[in-house]
Amino acid sequence: MAKELPGREDLVAWVQGHPDNYYRESTNLTSLLELRAGTQRLVAMHERLDAFGAVVATTIEPAVLTMERHREFPALVAYDAVGRRVDQVEFHPDQRTASKATWDSGLLSCDGRDGGAFEQAALFYLLSHVGEGGVACPAVCTVGLGRALAARASTELRERYLARVRSDGYDGALRGSQFLTEVQGGSDVGANLVSAVADDVVEGAWRISGEKWFCSVADADLFVVTARPVDAPSGTKGLGCFLVPRSVEGSTPNGFRIRQLKDKLGTRCLASGEIDFDGALGWPIGEVDEGFSVAVEELLNTSRWLNAVGSTGLMRRAYLEAASFARHRRAFGRAIGSIPIVREQLAMMKVHEYAALSSTMALTQLIDRMDRGVASESDVAVHRFLVNVNKFQTSLSATDVVHQGIEILGGNGTIESFSALPRLYRDSVVYESWEGTHNVLCAQVQRDCSRLGLLEAVESWLGDELRDVDLDGNDVVRAAFRGELTNFQAAVANGEGGGSRLRRSVARMANVIQAATLLREAQSGSSEKRAVARMFIGAKLGADDGAFDAPVIDSVLGAELG
């Protein structure tokens, strides 16, 4: 047998060196949980995170890889063998494998436990190393549904569904979805035309009719649907938010028809479709006239938080793939990871991922306070600002970081069967549009700041983040924030006339916030953390000519690249 060529031997070594536990590859996650959640909580969740890190690498990733490799994507089965309408979605058996492993991790049952938001974020971060995989979106939608039921639903509705929505296992669990988007409005939810009429037979129930245009998790057990009661005012104020079971009696579709499944760029293992409702039986979550508030505060804000967590997980996996490849791949007589320009590129990938996880865990800390009922009015205001700004920033960064990883792999990076990076890249583009496009998020930030005056609370919070920091970057970040605050206030005051100026200002504010949270970590952190903060500030705030010197890059990369 002919001896393998050296280049192929290097690639074999790269494949064999893939992690078998993603949690053990992320000491940064551990240090952030200790900083934001506290040592006691970290100890309490450590075993579950360690176990799930292995499950993601050795069970969920191979299952997702099989479905993607063979294009085993969801298929619509409109009718059964004898012509009865069933509107079911069929999946490859590995979909159940991945879903069961996800639910069995306890990801959905975290709510209600002390530190539940932190544990949920950490588990979801690990899960997102596989991309969306047909499991991340159902998990997020179900988390949001659980939060809506717990906070707003009637006692009867909670008792009927909440325990199974927050199940700690897959078998017997109920999975949720949320259908807001309609063809005539897209992100303009106030343009919704789906109607709701009070049912004259079933007490407290309504009949939902109309078309929803983008319905991810079309196979869910419980649909959350926005609809407008007859004679309700136009716009968002007239919307109700209704829980619509897939079936009322266990088999027959509850007044809905799946028009078609969508063939998407990414998240291809996830069933997204167009659904028509015709007198579907549903129950309001909260008061009928609170529908838009429920949709935003419990559903969209939950999804935007976890979307950011997911984007960060995509970045971490992309960095691990690229850094490992750079250690093994040789060109021009040496490992490409020793080439300065490649090292800088890898370092910036890592810096952006650390920045994303930093701001997202700061957001998670605010959610934890809100969940425990100890959040101040200022905490709530900062959350309202940060949940949108952070989703905007992290989803943009994810696409860029995965793209950078593909470039490190060269032509190999474009091959679907060679690495996970093409899959992650396609998913990252979808993540950018989920739960509000970038322009929609910026417009939301503008409206919230104009109407609710959030910036004073944001300024106070950022000051708290930097209070105990005595590193060189502190003055730089404070000065940058003062300048951006002035610019941002002007953009907010200009309303829609702010145009692209507003979007640029949101991006710069996000940079300052991430710089501040990174500095807080660096104050008591390792030399790696200090180097990450310095490099980020140099890249985003342009204040340090030495931020890209070789010693700084070496500190960022650390032992991962030698």
pLDDT tens per residue, range 55-86: 999 999 999 999 999 999 999 999 999 999 99
Q: Is it the case that residue 521 has pLDDT exceeding 60?
A: yes
Percent of the chain with pLDDT over 90: 90
Task: Give the DSSP H or E segment for 147.
Answer: helix 136-152
pLDDT given for residue 498 in this prediction: 66
3-class secondary structure, 134 = coil
When pLDDT is cut at 50, 70 and 90, the band that residue 196 belongs to is very high
Q: Is it the case that residue 194 has pLDDT exceeding 90?
A: yes
Instruction: Report the distance separating Cα 559 and Cα 562, nearest Å.
Output: 5
When pLDDT is cut at 50, 70 and 90, the band that residue 496 belongs to is low
For residue 67, count CB atoms less than 10 angstroms from its CB and return exposed for 0-12, middle for 13-18, buried for 19 or more: buried
pLDDT tens digits along 152-193:
999 999 999 999 999 999 999 999 999 999 999 888 999 999
How does 123-146 read in b/e, with b if 16+ C-beta sit within 10 Å?
bbbbbbbbbbbbbbbbbbbbbbbb
Contact (Cβ atoms closer than 8 angstroms) between residue 414 and residue 422: yes
Amino acid at 290: E
Task: Using alpha carbons, select from 121, 69, 67 the residue that is nearest to residue 96.
Answer: 67
225 strand-pairing partners? 179, 242
The single residue listed with the structure tokens 């470039």 is 407
Instruction: Report the distance separating Cα 64 and Cα 562, nearest Å.
Output: 32
For residue 204, count CB atoms less than 10 angstroms from its CB and return exposed for 0-12, middle for 13-18, buried for 19 or more: exposed
User: How is residue 58 annotated by DSSP?
Assistant: I
The DSSP line for 332-398 is TTEEGGGSHHHHHHHHHHHHHHHHHHHHHHHHHHHHHHHHHT---HHHHHHHHHHHHHHHHHHHHHH
- Which of the residue ranges 264-268, 357-361, 385-389, 524-528 would you say has the lowest mean pLDDT? 524-528
How does 148-174 read in b/e, with b if 16+ C-beta sit within 10 Å?
bbbebbeeebbebbbeebbbeebeebb
Q: Is it the case that residue 562 has pLDDT exceeding 70?
A: no
Kindly list the domain boundaries of the chain, sorted by start residue.
176-289, 438-560
For residue 294, count CB atoms less than 10 angstroms from its CB and return exposed for 0-12, middle for 13-18, buried for 19 or more: buried
Phi, psi for residue 178 in degrees, rounded to 5: -140, 125
Tokens at residue 87, please? 């509107």
367 strand-pairing partners? none
pLDDT given for residue 437 in this prediction: 93
Amino acid at 458: V
Question: Which CATH fold topology does 176-289 show?
Answer: Butyryl-CoA Dehydrogenase, subunit A; domain 2 (2.40.110)
CA angle in degrees (0–180, nearest 5) for 530-531-534: 85
274 strand-pairing partners? 260
When pLDDT is cut at 50, 70 and 90, the band that residue 497 belongs to is low
Instruction: Report the distance separating Cα 104 and Cα 88, nearest Å.
Output: 24
3-class secondary structure, 242 = strand
pLDDT tens digits along 284-334:
999 999 999 999 999 999 999 999 999 999 999 999 999 999 999 999 999
Instruction: Report the distance separating Cα 162 and Cα 147, nearest Å.
Output: 9
Contact (Cβ atoms closer than 8 angstroms) between residue 298 and residue 148: yes
When pLDDT is cut at 50, 70 and 90, the band that residue 47 belongs to is very high
pLDDT given for residue 1 in this prediction: 56
User: How is residue 17 annotated by DSSP?
Assistant: T
pLDDT tens digits along 77-136:
999 999 999 999 999 999 999 999 999 999 999 987 889 999 999 999 999 999 999 999
The single residue listed with the structure tokens 């690498």 is 57
Task: Using alpha carbons, select from 472, 559, 458 the residue that is nearest to residue 523.
Answer: 472
Mean pLDDT of the chain: 95
Q: What is the number of alpha carbons within 13 Å of residue 301 lying toward its C-beta?
A: 23
pLDDT tens digits along 461-472:
999 999 999 998
Instruction: Report the distance separating Cα 178 and Cα 302, nearest Å.
Output: 12
When pLDDT is cut at 50, 70 and 90, the band that residue 545 belongs to is confident
When pLDDT is cut at 50, 70 and 90, the band that residue 560 belongs to is confident
Instruction: Report the distance separating Cα 266 and Cα 140, nearest Å.
Output: 17
Q: What is the 3-state secondary structure (H, E, C) of 405-420?
A: HHHHHHHHHHCCCCCC
pLDDT given for residue 60 in this prediction: 98
Task: Using alpha carbons, select from 79, 80, 95, 454 the residue that is nearest to residue 267.
Answer: 95
- pTM score, whole prediction: 0.97
Distance set, CA 298 to CA 123, 152, 281 (Å): 20, 9, 22
Q: What is the number of alpha carbons within 13 Å of residue 475 lying toward its C-beta?
A: 3
